[in-house]
Structure 1
């Protein structure tokens, strides 16, 4: 019999579902911005060579998120237009819920969901699994690459109203010799960026330092910094 889940139970069983996956894992969520705990669990699945499929529906991935995803060999990502469903499955469990795989939602929102066990509700599990497979089939698989984002960002930086001597955050991180996530943490700590509702925003201090906010129609927001900038 399906089990009702409140907010805390949804988060708990989502982690258990990921941890207990031994053969396959399907994560369907319109919004995708993973907290550190979920990232750790997925990295462990990758080390165990578990097949992970992630389907999302909003093209607003941050460059640092893309940089992290591309390092997971056994995680395949697909984009599904008009996606609104939130469904998470492994070979034995299924969660159908209002909860996005978005760290702000997991911390701040009131959510509901139901847990379906294959051993107790095989027909219900089968129907949810088949619908998840259909969503995967109609989705466009993407080999996420931060280089693609950087290339597009650099192309945008060649426009008439921009300066060519600026770097994306990930390129600047390479130049400084740190990981992108580490550089972003430095920028936030130093006051060049601030976090609101799970998203990074450039501050007045960041603009004074020469930072710029840009929006890629395909890959979402990113930032440009002077090549000589050292936070």
Structure 2
């Protein structure tokens, strides 16, 4: 029989659901800002090589989420347009709830949910699992490129590696000689993902699996591949056009 969950119970059983996943874990939440406790649990699942799928749909991933997800080999992230469902499943248990996988919601909001088990609620659990699988299939896997975002000392909230790397690229003069992909995308008025796709389509970058690599054409156009304190990133001429 389904079990009703209030806010605290939803948070408790969500952690248990993640902790007890042995084969697969699906986390579907429109908004995504994962708290430290759930991060630890997901990192443990990654060490155990459990297949984890996270689907979100209402906002861009913030820099901290990008850097963290980048390091998790067995956690794949997808974007699903018009997503409003909140559903969390492993191979034995499902939670259907109003709770987003969002730190603020987990602490401040009044939420409700229903817990289903494959053993006691087999038909309902199967329907929920099948629908979650469908959402995973129709979502677009996010390509987390080699460009990383780091916290610059004295810069407050996460500042993009572009800030530091631009000074590095022009010898510290502060001139806008080169921009990271994120800064270039902002200058062009498009999303970083769209810019990366265009760079691949134009032959300036090569995509291998989920990683981007600078091509000879990209190098001849002035593109550079750099390694900074937070990881790898690309630099492009300020007036780059294609």
CA deviations on 1:178-220 (whole Å, 9 max, x unpaired) are xxxxxxxxxxxxxxxxxxxxxxxxxxxxxxxxxxxx7976369
- SS of the equivalent of 2:128 reads helix
| Corresponding residue SS for 2:144 | coil
Q: Distance in 1 between matches of 2:190 and 2:107?
A: 28
Matched, 1:218 2:191: yes
Calculate the TM-score normalised by the size of structure 1: 0.66
Are the aligned partners of 1:86 and 1:97 in contact in 2 as well (CA < 8 Å)?
yes
Q: 1:217 to 1:41 in 2, by over 3 A?
A: farther
Once the 2 structures are TM-superposed, how far is the Cα of residue 61 of structure 1 from its aligned partner?
A: 1.3
The answer to whether the 8 A contact 1:33-1:65 is kept is yes
Q: Does 1:169 align with 2:159?
A: yes
Which structure 2 residues correspond to residues 144-163 of structure 1 after superposition, within 5 A?
144-145=144-145, 147=147
Q: Which has the higher contact order (CA 8 A, sep 6+)?
A: 1
Q: Answer whether contact 2:67 2:148 (CA < 8 A) is retained.
A: no
Unaligned runs of 5+ in 2: 151-157, 166-185, 194-242
- Higher gyration radius (CA): 2
Which residue does the alignment assign to 2:231? none
**SS at 1:15 equivalent:** helix
Q: What is aligned with 1:90?
A: 90
Corresponding residue pairs, total: 165
- Aligned residue for 1:120, secondary structure, equals coil
Q: Would the alpha carbon gap of residues 148 and 116 (structure 1) be closer, same or farther in structure 2, given more than 3 Å must change?
A: same
Cα RMSD (Å) of the superposition? 2.5
Other-structure match for 1:11: 11
Question: Residues of 2 paired with 1:63 and 1:120: CA distance?
Answer: 41
Q: By how many angstroms is 1:172 displaced?
A: 7.1
CA positional deviation for 1:173 = 9.5
Structure 2 CA distance for partners of 1:173 and 1:104, relative to 1, 3 Å: farther
Runs of 5+ in structure 1 lacking a partner?
151-167, 176-213, 221-231
TM-score, normalised on structure 2? 0.63
- Is the partner of 1:43 in helix, strand or coil? helix
